[in-house]
Amino acid sequence: MVELERAAINTFRLIFPTVALSACFFHLSQCVWQKVQELRLRQEYIDNEEMRTIIKMLPALAFVPPGDVTAAFENIYAPDNLIPLLDYFEDTFVGRLHRGHRSRPLFPVELWNICNRVCEGLPRSNNLMEGWHSVFNQSVSVAHPSIYALIKQFKKEQKHTENLLVQIHAGKDVSTNPKKKYVRLTNNLTKLVQHYDPNDKEEFFKRSCINLLF
């Protein structure tokens, strides 16, 4: 999974042209949230439930089947003060409509849509990987370790990984216990996506927004 950074995505595709890229849902949500703050809509998001639901509909488009995203976006009704936010999302993630055709957005739907990933039980974000990086950095103890200290820590990590593999092959469950709240949200979203009804997008959005957190 990749962050929504054009330069990084272009470089990755240049080096690994056959790899299918998928954007991190967390970073999609953060793009929307940063724009909300930039447009000074944060307080309205907090105070106004209707506004909050409309704003959440934008990242919720990531759970709609890719072929339905454009139609779902066009069905989002927003008051005047949210039009700049919808314009931003349209230009960046959907494509601006001009003479009956949409231009190619900065980040195409197939990059940031994670409907299939959710159905297959795959991660929605790269937070686990970033969490590993954080723990590993803490284990090294210093910001700029020597090459010898770094290799030593890599060896420890490799040994730990090998021990986990032995336990897994022996049938032991070595997974960490995620927070119950996260598990509940994940299960709810999975059920919603698997039972998506293209004829009832409004209900889908309402229920998916309940399970989204910025």
**Region of residue 123 (phi > 0: left; psi between -120 and 50: alpha; otherwise: beta):** beta
Average pLDDT by stretches of 10, the chain with 214 residues: 80 83 87 96 92 93 92 91 96 91 92 87 57 56 74 79 77 65 75 85 82 75
- In degrees, rounded to 5, the angle at the alpha carbon of residue 85 between the alpha carbons of residues 192 and 126 is 50
pLDDT of residue 161: 76
In this structure, are residues 80 and 35 in contact, taking their beta carbons and an 8 Å threshold? no
pLDDT of residue 148: 78
